[in-house]
């Protein structure tokens, strides 16, 4: 009985905790002193700053970069205080970044994104102290940067998606200048020799080992470097990953030639790891695996695991942000930072779908702490699950979620872009196996993975991977109608509709026969737009397959106790998932249902 009462107390305490504006900042500053402390020495180093607020007015010390970050902090403070109808408190804040580079990669090669949308993402990055926008400009579906030297790259026959959509050189310069004005450096990527079908179709060169291909790609690197100074665009990314097709195999001399083009233009070279070998002190961007794949001591940027947010759902982001440590290997000088990856491989139906389906805006806020401050410890068993409420590590997730919600409701109030994230740490679930044996109880999250394809270390321990049942009991203060996010599959936006996890058929939540009941009555699945779609249909856009980019299901909670039961039959391969969370509003801008209390037992 004591365990049950502790669970109740945890629910109540989580819902009651709130901070003031100094305790709601994202990312959290290193040192915050309430009141003006003239004895507090200002920090030094790139990006460091001291912000002193007295009678509502700021005083800032720091280099140009640090002063920009100080103003970002001050703007947040003002919005947080104004939302509460309070004056700015007198305070002194010392802060500095752990890593040199903190950014987001947007794949515009597969799916063209408008210049205005890109600018909005850059503005959001700047507001949360990121300083890199990694712009993936070329892929199999299109070479999206205008070339005046080789205009054949823009002919319609070269595109296989978003035909004729590319960025003019004037637009490219416009984005560079816009980013620079907000303290963000653009790292353009011309991916070679892999992912070059559009290039090969445009030039008619079927095999990149051809000397003509080497020369043309070298000319394109030269042309790119002429669009911005080395100061404004100091790094050029040449990809080099996944060169798998016969026509993409090139001799090392080609790679050396392209690398020399970059360095001869006064730029630093960057490439993916794993990837083909580039010469010299190339910045390696780690993109796959849970081990150090560098093989040497070169400097690197971390984009591993759940930092590829196209494999992650919004309610999974909290565990990633709280417990995945960026830059886990090497000496301090090798740890350059981290970049969020937004790889929407599948076709899209609407331009905004890339940022909506991949929860880009919540990810920027949630991961800002992680990238700015780092994490003291890496917790791979928690990448896809939150710790138990009585685990000392749980407080980190509760605090992070509290501050993110304050940002959502106060700083980002009126945001025109989707922000699909709601509170979940107050939830409590019980998981049982097909024999009724308890696997776990008190699970404090909305999205639960009995088994996770990407992160097996985060799996729950069970005798087999047979049917599991998830149950929660919700106390509602009154009869009410609201929405609910309900998910039973969890699609990656990168080849997620495989034979193992196709879009369900009509009348199904998934192909394995998953069900959900509220107070003993089944909730019907949506009428899917593309029912039964499988086999990696990249050209069939995702529309309503996941819970956060379709409208919430309508449910009715009665006053008092409500029982929710998800039955997830055995499955293999992809993510084994159960999601249920009551929400108000739309999926683009959801809010918590106030007054609900969650229990993992029939209280």
Average pLDDT over residues 534-538: 69
On whether residue 537 sits in a domain, the answer given is yes
Task: Give the relative orientation of helices 115-127 and 360-373 as an angle to the nearest 10 degrees.
Answer: 40
Is beta strand 57-62 parallel, antiparallel or unpaired with respect to 49-54?
A: antiparallel
Interval 29-46: pLDDT, tens: 999 999 877 788 999 999
Interval 3-38: pLDDT, tens: 333 333 344 333 333 458 999 999 999 999 998 777
- pLDDT value of position 463: 61
Interval 559-600: pLDDT, tens: 999 999 999 997 655 668 899 999 999 999 999 999 999 999
Find, among 185, 260, 194, the residue nearest to 222 by Cα. 260
Average pLDDT over residues 451-460: 81
Question: Containing domain of residue 84, as a range?
Answer: 2-95
Q: What is the pTM of this model?
A: 0.94
Three-state DSSP class for residue 474:
strand
251: which 2 tokens?
């001799």
Interval 294-323: pLDDT, tens: 677 889 999 998 899 999 999 999 999 999
- How many Å apart are CA 367 and CA 28, to the nearest integer? 11
CB atoms within 10 A of CB 283: 20
> Are 150 and 97 in contact, with CB atoms under 8 Å apart?
no
Average pLDDT over residues 416-420: 97
- pLDDT > 80? residue 548: yes
- pLDDT value of position 322: 97
516: which 2 tokens?
């959900």
On whether residue 235 sits in a domain, the answer given is no
Confidence of residue 293 (pLDDT cuts 50, 70, 90): low
Is beta strand 468-476 parallel, antiparallel or unpaired with respect to 560-568?
A: antiparallel
- pLDDT value of position 500: 64
Is the preceding peptide bond at 193 cis, omega within 30 degrees of 0?
yes
Of residues 489 and 559, which shows the higher confidence score? Answer: 559
CB within 8 A of 268, min separation 6: which ones?
234, 235, 236, 262, 283
| Burial of residue 257, with CB atoms counted within 10 A of its CB: 0-12 exposed, 13-18 middle, 19 or more buried | middle
Find, among 419, 465, 454, the residue nearest to 312 by Cα. 454
Phi, psi of 272 (to 5 degrees): -80, 150
Task: Give the relative orientation of helices 115-127 and 64-83 as an angle to the nearest 10 degrees.
Answer: 90
Work out the angle at residue 156's Cα, subtended by the Cα atoms of residues 152 and 161, and round it to the nearest 5 degrees: 120
Interval 188-227: pLDDT, tens: 999 999 999 999 999 999 999 999 999 999 999 999 999 9
- Among 95, 118, 145, the domain-final residue is 95
Number of structural domains found in the chain: 2
Average pLDDT over residues 52-63: 96
First-residue to last-residue Cα distance in the chain: 11
On whether residue 20 sits in a domain, the answer given is yes
- pLDDT > 90? residue 476: yes
- How many Å apart are CA 435 and CA 514, to the nearest integer? 17
On whether residue 36 sits in a domain, the answer given is yes
On whether residue 78 sits in a domain, the answer given is yes
Of residues 292 and 242, which shows the higher confidence score? Answer: 242
Least confident of 190-199, 491-500, 504-513: 491-500
Find, among 574, 589, 374, 372, the residue nearest to 491 by Cα. 574
- How many Å apart are CA 284 and CA 187, to the nearest integer? 13
- pLDDT value of position 294: 66
Average pLDDT over residues 515-544: 90
- Among 95, 116, 147, the domain-final residue is 95
> What's 41's domain CATH number?
3.30.379
Confidence of residue 127 (pLDDT cuts 50, 70, 90): very high
- Among 79, 95, 111, the domain-final residue is 95
Residues in the chain: 603
Least confident of 1-15, 255-269, 535-549, 562-576: 1-15
Find, among 99, 48, 44, the residue nearest to 332 by Cα. 99
Query: What residue spans of 444-487 are helical by DSSP H?
Result: none
- How many Å apart are CA 283 and CA 155, to the nearest integer? 33
CB atoms within 10 A of CB 342: 26
On whether residue 500 sits in a domain, the answer given is yes
On whether residue 202 sits in a domain, the answer given is no
- Average pLDDT of the chain to the nearest whole number: 92
Average pLDDT over residues 402-414: 97
On whether residue 110 sits in a domain, the answer given is no
- pLDDT > 50? residue 475: yes
Confidence of residue 290 (pLDDT cuts 50, 70, 90): low
- How many Å apart are CA 140 and CA 183, to the nearest integer? 31
Three-state DSSP class for residue 306:
helix
Average pLDDT over residues 266-275: 95
Is beta strand 480-487 parallel, antiparallel or unpaired with respect to 438-443?
A: unpaired
Average pLDDT over residues 144-161: 97
């Amino acid at each position: 009985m004591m365990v049950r009462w502790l669970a109740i107390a945890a629910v109540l305490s989580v819902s009651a905790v709130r901070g003031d504006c100094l305790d709601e900042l994202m990312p959290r500053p290193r040192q915050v002193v309430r009141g003006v402390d003239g004895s507090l020495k200002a920090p030094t180093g790139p990006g460091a700053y001291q912000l002193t607020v007295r009678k509502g007015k700021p005083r800032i010390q720091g280099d140009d970069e640090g002063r920009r970050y100080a103003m970002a902090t001050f703007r947040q403070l003002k919005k947080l205080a104004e939302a509460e109808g309070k004056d700015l408190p007198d305070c002194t804040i010392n802060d500095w970044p752990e890593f040199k580079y903190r950014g987001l990669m947007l794949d515009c090669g597969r799916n063209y994104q408008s210049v205005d949308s890109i600018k909005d993402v850059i503005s959001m990055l700047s507001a949360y102290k990121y300083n890199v926008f990694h712009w993936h400009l070329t892929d199999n579906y299109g070479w999206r940067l205008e070339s005046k030297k080789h205009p054949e790259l823009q002919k319609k026959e070269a595109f296989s998606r978003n035909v004729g959509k590319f960025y003019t050189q004037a637009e490219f310069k416009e984005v560079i200048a816009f980013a620079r004005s907000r303290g963000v450096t653009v790292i353009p990527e011309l991916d070679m020799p892999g992912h070059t079908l559009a290039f090969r179709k445009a030039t008619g060169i079927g095999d990149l080992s051809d000397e003509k291909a080497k020369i043309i790609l070298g000319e394109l690197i030269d042309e790119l470097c002429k669009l911005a100074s080395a100061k404004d665009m100091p790094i050029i990314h040449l990809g080099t990953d996944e060169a798998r097709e016969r026509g993409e195999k090139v001799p090392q001399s080609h790679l050396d030639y392209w690398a020399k083009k970059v360095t001869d233009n006064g730029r630093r070279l960057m490439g993916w790891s794993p990837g083909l070998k580039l010469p010299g002190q190339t910045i390696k961007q780690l993109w796959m695996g849970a081990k150090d794949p560098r093989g040497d001591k070169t400097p690197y940027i971390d984009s591993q695991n759940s930092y590829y947010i196209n494999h992650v759902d919004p309610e999974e982001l909290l565990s990633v942000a709280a417990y995945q440590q960026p830059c886990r290997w090497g000496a301090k000088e090798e740890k350059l930072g981290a970049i969020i990856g937004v790889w929407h491989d599948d076709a899209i139906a609407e331009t905004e779908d890339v940022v909506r389906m991949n929860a880009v805006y919540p990810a920027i806020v949630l991961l800002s702490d992680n990238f700015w401050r780092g994490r003291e410890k890496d917790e791979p068993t928690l990448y896809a699950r939150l710790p138990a409420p009585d685990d000392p590590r749980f407080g980190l997730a509760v605090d992070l979620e509290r501050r993110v919600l304050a940002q959502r409701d106060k700083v980002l109030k009126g945001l025109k872009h989707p922000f699909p994230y709601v509170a979940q740490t107050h939830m409590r679930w019980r998981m049982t196996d097909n024999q009724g044996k308890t696997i776990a109880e008190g699970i404090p999250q909305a999205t639960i993975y009995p088994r996770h394809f990407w992160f097996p270390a985060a799996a729950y321990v069970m005798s087999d991977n047979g049917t599991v049942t998830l149950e929660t009991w919700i106390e509602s203060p009154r009869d009410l109608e609201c929405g609910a996010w309900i998910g039973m599959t969890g699609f990656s936006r990168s080849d997620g509709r495989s034979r193992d996890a196709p879009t369900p058929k009509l009348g199904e939540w998934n192909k394995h026969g998953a069900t959900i009941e509220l107070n003993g009555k089944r909730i019907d699945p949506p009428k899917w737009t593309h029912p039964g779609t499988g086999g990696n249909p990249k050209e069939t856009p995702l529309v309503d397959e996941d819970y956060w980019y379709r409208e919430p299901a309508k449910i009715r909670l009665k006053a008092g106790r409500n029982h929710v039961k998800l039955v997830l039959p055995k499955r293999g391969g992809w993510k084994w998932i159960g999601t249920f969370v009551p929400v108000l509003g739309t999926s683009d801008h959801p809010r918590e249902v106030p007054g609900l209390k969650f229990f993992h037992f029939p209280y």
